[in-house]
């Protein structure tokens, strides 16, 4: 660099001597090259509910598609009028080993040329606009056509994704869709953190369930080798003796809402639930305790029931206040019970709850021992490692 400056000095001096009347011409900066918008990330970046705190799995282990919306602001980020749509519910598909086949596929996730039954025009490649004042992306997974999209308006500058929901005790981790956090970038962020990525970077969405996840389990005194426990029922105490009185919302519509204006401090979508107007209530009854195959003591005789979770409506997001929950069981011919206070039964979307009951030393009594609450969040964002009720 130093030699270049010296050479430039002598050339300039020669110019002044031979053509003193000529003015220096200003340099014209080269335009920035087009940079394609691409999706994806290393395995573990696309989050689901990890089975342990030490392992995270990618979205592709649950779903191989998602539907994404992208918007950019062209001036004032607080004005809806400056918001322009970039991707109107594009379908993005995962294909193992496909990265690098096209300019828009850098991590095995592709959107260009993917057939999308929700759009009348083909999906084309999109490029970053470095003059935009903000970019935001959000999505749900897997791609499905029964999701209603509410367009923004001046009165409500948000986009809402609405999902039909019906509770089932046979539901699995993939029965309900996942919604992403808002991916937001501004020119000033420069990619300084995961929540403030830079223009041109890979759009790495983080997904979480729109429902809650519940399990209950037992602990036993040291030396316990076997326990005979039958007729286990864990339910709202108000309806345990008469399920016909249960008014718990079990069916309705879950909404995930994203802002198109401003710079929100929280990138989580706003999750709400609207119960269905008729035949939508009933009892939530949990009967299968959570057990690992490696546990020393097993109540369950059927190994297919191991690792049982219940995927329940996000009742705290309605809001609907559950009562205290009571667990009853028959241990060696004796009926025993324990109660969990109502304040521990308010389930939030995107959280998983573990209720732990302890069997007494003499084996004829159980007590509520602990509640563990964990949020479905990337490892760096987890503020509660299953040791309390943080951020209720």
Torsion of Cα atoms, 194 then 198 then 200 then 206, to 10°: 20
Q: What is the mean predicted confidence (pLDDT) over 317-329? A: 96
Structure tokens at 97: 């080993």
At residue 2, the pLDDT reads 39
Q: What is the mean predicted confidence (pLDDT) over 48-55? A: 40
At residue 376, the pLDDT reads 67
At residue 237, the pLDDT reads 98
At residue 61, the pLDDT reads 82
At residue 5, the pLDDT reads 36
In whole angstroms, give the CA distance from residue 19 to residue 22.
Answer: 6
User: 26-63 burial string, b = 16+ CB within 10 Å, else e?
Assistant: eeeeeeeeeeebbbbbeeebbbbbbeeeeebebbbebb
In whole angstroms, give the CA distance from residue 340 to residue 343.
Answer: 8
At residue 45, the pLDDT reads 46
Q: Is 280's pLDDT higher than 80?
A: yes
C-alpha closest to that of 47 among 175, 139, 160, 178:
178
Q: What is the mean predicted confidence (pLDDT) over 280-288? A: 97
What residues contact 77, with CB distance under 8 A and at least 6 apart? 133, 134, 186, 261, 262, 263
Q: Is 15's pLDDT higher than 60?
A: no
The pLDDT confidence band at residue 104, using thresholds 50, 70 and 90, is very high
Structure tokens at 46: 């696309």
Give the residue, 17 or 310, on which the prediction is more confident. Answer: 310
- pLDDT above 70 coverage of the chain, percent: 80
Of 6-10, 274-278, 286-290, the least confident: 6-10
Q: What is the mean predicted confidence (pLDDT) over 12-24? A: 34
At residue 32, the pLDDT reads 56
Q: Is 16's pLDDT higher than 80?
A: no
* Average of per-residue pLDDT values in the chain: 83
At residue 62, the pLDDT reads 86
Q: Please compute, for residue 70, the number of CA atoms within 13 A of its CA located in the half-sphere on the CB side.
A: 22
Tens-place pLDDT, residues 159-174: 999 999 999 999 998 9
Q: Is 389's pLDDT higher than 90?
A: no
At residue 201, the pLDDT reads 87
Q: What is the mean predicted confidence (pLDDT) over 291-320? A: 96
Tens-place pLDDT, residues 353-375: 999 999 987 767 899 999 998 87
Measure CA of the first residue to CA of the last residue in the chain; give whole Å.
58
């Amino acid at each position: 660099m130093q030699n270049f400056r010296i050479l430039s000095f002598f050339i300039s001096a020669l110019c002044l001597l031979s053509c003193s009347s000529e003015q220096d011409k200003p340099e014209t900066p080269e335009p920035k090259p087009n940079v394609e918008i691409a999706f994806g990330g290393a395995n573990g970046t696309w989050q689901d509910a990890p089975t342990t705190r030490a392992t995270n799995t990618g979205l592709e282990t649950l779903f191989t598609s998602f539907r994404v919306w992208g918007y950019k602001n062209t001036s004032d980020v607080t004005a809806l009028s400056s918001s322009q749509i970039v991707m109107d519910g594009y379908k993005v598909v995962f294909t193992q080993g496909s990265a690098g086949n096209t300019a828009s596929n850098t991590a095995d996730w592709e959107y260009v040329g993917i057939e999308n039954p929700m759009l009348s025009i083909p999906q084309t490649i999109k490029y970053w606009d470095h003059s935009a004042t903000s970019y935001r992306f959000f999505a749900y997974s897997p791609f499905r056509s029964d999701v209603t999209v509410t367009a923004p308006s001046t009165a409500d500058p948000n986009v809402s994704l609405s999902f039909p929901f019906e509770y089932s005790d046979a539901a699995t981790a993939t029965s309900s869709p996942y919604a992403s956090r808002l991916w937001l970038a501004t020119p000033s962020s420069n990619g300084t953190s995961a929540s403030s990525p830079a223009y041109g970077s890979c759009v790495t969405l983080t997904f979480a369930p729109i429902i809650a996840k519940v399990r209950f389990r037992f602990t036993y005194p040291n030396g316990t080798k076997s326990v005979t426990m039958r007729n286990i029922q864990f339910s709202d105490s108000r309806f345990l003796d008469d399920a016909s009185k249960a008014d718990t919302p079990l069916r309705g519509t879950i909404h995930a809402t994203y802002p198109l204006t401003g710079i929100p401090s929280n990138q989580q979508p706003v999750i709400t639930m609207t119960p269905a107007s008729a035949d939508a209530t009933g009892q939530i009854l949990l009967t299968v305790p959570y057990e690992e195959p490696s546990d020393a003591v097993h109540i369950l005789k059927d190994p297919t029931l191991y690792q049982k979770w219940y995927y329940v409506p996000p009742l705290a997001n309605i809001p609907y206040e559950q009562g205290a929950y009571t667990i009853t069981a028959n241990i060696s011919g004796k009926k025993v019970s324990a109660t969990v206070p109502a304040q521990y039964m308010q389930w939030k979307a995107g959280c998983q709850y573990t209720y732990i009951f302890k069997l007494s030393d003499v084996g004829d009594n159980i007590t509520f021992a602990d509640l563990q609450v964990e949020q479905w969040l990337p490892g760096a964002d987890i503020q509660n490692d299953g040791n309390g009720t943080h951020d209720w």
